Amino acid sequence: MWLYHRIIVTTSSQAGVAFKYKISPSHFSHVFIDEAAQVTEPESLIPISMSAIGHGVVVLAGDHRQLGPVVMSHKARDGRLDRSLMERLMTSCEPYSRSDEYKKYGFYNPRFITKLLQNYRSDAVIMSIPSKLFYDNELQFNCSTDTQLLKAMKLDSAINFTGVQGEDRQDPDCPSWYNPMEIIQVCSYLEKLYNAAVKPEDIGIITPYRKQ
């Protein structure tokens, strides 16, 4: 069926199935690898190997400053298999790596690197730290904080650290941990959010333990 479609969507590893159908190694004119920074280099080479030789276009979309490939083997990590093709190119290979020659373009050759700088997801208070540490303060913030919501929560900022005097517990029949006082504090914030007309589906809670 691969031969009857102009556009194929697949994972990097499953792209190798194409060879089963005897598709030409240079069958595709364009190859797009999304979240390329999370893919190991050998995995990236599978779809890349099917791009048209000489005139094919390969686009690696992602951010090597964020999550990289998950590699559990110590030997594999020692061999740098935990580094994506995208990271290797952008940190050590011209014309993709950072260079003072292109300072006015954000230190990267604009012919080969396109940077997305507009942020519509996070408050400036949240993004200012990674912007400074990883992106040369280039990120542009287009998400405004709901000041009425902060007022309802009795908070001064989109980031808040709350100290809780509690202790971690573990039940005999369950290996997972939980902290009752932290749970109470989170429920307190949830109540304030509900009272401020925030919908449950718009709230996310992250915790390191399932029991919590």
Judgement on whether residues 17 and 70 belong to the same structural domain of the protein: yes
Judgement on whether residues 110 and 27 belong to the same structural domain of the protein: yes
Q: How far is the C-alpha of 32 from the C-alpha of 170, rounded, in Å?
A: 46
| Radius of gyration over every alpha carbon of the chain, rounded to an integer in angstroms | 23
In a domain, 207, yes or no: no
Judgement on whether residues 78 and 157 belong to the same structural domain of the protein: no
> Of 106, 126, 145, which residue constitutes the final position of a domain?
145
Judgement on whether residues 59 and 69 belong to the same structural domain of the protein: yes
Judgement on whether residues 97 and 122 belong to the same structural domain of the protein: no
In a domain, 47, yes or no: yes
pTM: 0.76
pLDDT reported for residue 39:
95
Instruction: Give long-range contacts, CB 8 A cutoff, 24+ apart: 159-165.
Output: 159/123, 159/125, 159/126
Q: Residue 198: how many CA atoms within 13 Å on its side-chain side?
A: 18
* 171-196 pLDDT, tens digit each: 888 889 999 999 999 999 999 889 88
Q: Give the residue numbers spanning the domain of 198.
A: 147-202
In a domain, 209, yes or no: no
